[in-house]
Amino acid sequence: MNNPFDFELSLSFPINRPRRMRASRSIRNAVARTRLGLDDLIAPIFIDGNINGVMEIESMPGVYRYSIDKGIRKVSDYLEQGLDKILIFGIPRYKDEVGSEAYDRDGVVQRFIRELRGTLGDRILIFTDVCMCQYTSHGHCGVISYVDDKYKIQNDKSIELMGRIALSHAEAGADFVAPSSMMDGVVYAIRRKLDEEGYVDVGIMSYSVKYASNFYAPFREAAESSPEFGDRRSYQMDPRISEEAIKEALMDIQEGADILMVKPALAYLDIIKIIRSSFGYFPLAAYNVSGEYSMVKAASKLNWIDEKKVIIEILFSIKRAGADLIITYHAPEIAQWIKEDHELFQW
Ligand code: PBG
């Protein structure tokens, strides 16, 4: 016993065997950390002021546009499934240069919120997208002026209108407004407007970190919101930079945001992680956008992937990166699987 380290010699190699922690379903699930539940999900919903009934969106199988009455019925179904959070997008009846249906008290979104509140009361948590691109004739997310054949987005005029849009949603009964234009100062403009008008309890979920992404294409078909000319690169962020995300999120915190958001989610998991670690004290949402949804649906139609398992793996990755909430078109099907097929969420 003169060598105090003798005991090491009796151990066989390797000493560390991580596989012990993967040996059975029970131990794997015990240490999994990342969980997915109904409370994490926000279901987007498209309400169309021009239709009577329901219309499937071709590039997003399983996702529909609803007339107001059909939308109410859909949200009641969601509640029954245990989904209690929706994010509303409107397809307006008319478009003009300044997107005025966006702040029309009788606009499609405002009427839908009012009816929803009237029918379902406080059981549903209502988030609304605050933007102008579906509502403007040119399809940009702000007011435009033209100088020498060149167009320019008028930032400060646009955020003033965003304040009016948010106010009209708050008056109708929204719980949270979600500005998605990436205009500078939009969160502050909305916060100020809401407070001035007495809506201090209406919160802001800001699309704080939103990239000029090609993954939005199916959504633009769904919402008829493609820009008529140019692109969104002068307001949405450059996918090649990550540090700017911290600046954008910090600005939104200072301007009065309640929930931050990163969008898209899947190609931007690193950004979710950065925001989570920089502002761990702030609730964080991630938007699993239309293109991410459509790619999975297309591949599974071809039988190239196991659809359910891939969807769940994607959502796990978004949660693991640090999101508290996930806005996803998969929400209704996931709610169903949670109820019917608990095993799917195990490993
Ligand atoms: C509106 C808006 C867009 C999305 C959400 N809000 C489109 C865009 O910025 O062009 C995209 C959502 C999705 O792709 O699922 N500005």
289 in contact with ligand 1, CB cutoff 6 A: yes
What span, in angstroms and rounded, lies between the C-alpha atoms of 319 and 34? 7
What span, in angstroms and rounded, lies between the C-alpha atoms of 141 and 144? 9
**Residue of 89, 241, 229, 110 lying closest to 165 (CA atoms):** 110
Specify whether the CB–CB gap between 165 and 197 falls below 8 A. Answer: no
Ligand 1 atom nearest to 329, measured from its CA:
15
Specify whether the CB–CB gap between 276 and 284 falls below 8 A. Answer: yes
Mutate to test the pocket of ligand 1, among 63, 65, 131 (most ligand atoms within 8 A of CB): 131
Strand partners of residue 56: 64
Ligand 1 atom nearest to 236, measured from its CA:
9
The set of residues, in sequence order, having a beta carbon less than 8 Å from that of 16 and lying 6+ positions away, is none
Is residue 210 part of the annotated active site? The answer reads yes
| Opening angle at CA 123, ends 118 and 129, nearest 5 | 75
Residue 216: DSSP 8-state = G
Mutate to test the pocket of ligand 1, among 140, 211, 219 (most ligand atoms within 8 A of CB): 219
What span, in angstroms and rounded, lies between the C-alpha atoms of 267 and 216? 12
Q: Is 190 exposed, middle or buried (0-12, 13-18, 19+ CB in 10 A)?
A: buried
Ligand 1 atom nearest to 218, measured from its CA:
14
The pLDDT value given to residue 9: 59
Residue 210 Cα to ligand 1 midpoint, Å, equals 9
How many residues does this entry show for the chain? 347
Instruction: Pick the residue whose CA is nearest to atom 6 on ligand 1.
Output: 180
Residue 165 Cα to ligand 1 midpoint, Å, equals 17
Mutate to test the pocket of ligand 1, among 216, 232, 329 (most ligand atoms within 8 A of CB): 216
Residue 216 Cα to ligand 1 midpoint, Å, equals 6
314 in contact with ligand 1, CB cutoff 6 A: no
Residue 341 Cα to ligand 1 midpoint, Å, equals 31
131 in contact with ligand 1, CB cutoff 6 A: yes
CA within 13 Å, CB half, 57: 26
180 in contact with ligand 1, CB cutoff 6 A: yes
Instruction: Pick the residue whose CA is nearest to atom 7 on ligand 1.
Output: 216
> Does residue 18 have a cis bond before it (omega within 30 degrees)?
no
133 in contact with ligand 1, CB cutoff 6 A: yes
pTM of the complete model: 0.95
What percentage of the chain's residues is helix, strand, coil (to nearest 5)? 45, 20, 35
What span, in angstroms and rounded, lies between the C-alpha atoms of 85 and 267? 24
Specify whether the CB–CB gap between 93 and 108 falls below 8 A. Answer: yes
Specify the pairing of strand 150-154 against strand 284-288: unpaired
Per-residue pLDDT of the chain (347 residues; tens, 9 = 90+): 555 555 555 667 888 899 999 999 999 999 999 999 999 999 999 999 999 999 999 999 999 999 999 999 999 999 999 999 999 999 999 999 999 999 999 999 999 999 999 999 999 999 999 999 999 999 999 999 998 888 999 999 999 999 999 999 999 999 999 999 999 999 999 999 999 999 999 999 999 999 999 999 999 988 888 898 888 999 999 999 999 999 999 999 999 999 999 999 999 999 999 999 999 999 999 999 999 999 999 999 999 999 999 999 999 999 999 999 999 999 999 999 999 998 899 88
**Helices 108-120 & 155-172 angle (0-180, nearest 10):** 30
The pLDDT value given to residue 3: 58
The pLDDT value given to residue 228: 87
The gap between the terminal CA atoms of the chain, to the nearest Å, is: 46
C-alpha distances out from residue 193 to 135, 159, 196, 325, Å: 21, 10, 5, 26
DSSP 38-68: GGGEEEEEEEETT-SSEEE-TTSTT-EEE-H
Domains by residue range for the chain, with CATH? 34-340 (3.20.20.70)
The pLDDT value given to residue 8: 58
Is residue 339 part of the annotated active site? The answer reads no
Residue 19 Cα to ligand 1 midpoint, Å, equals 42
Residues 70, 95, 193, 263: which is the catalytic one? Answer: 263
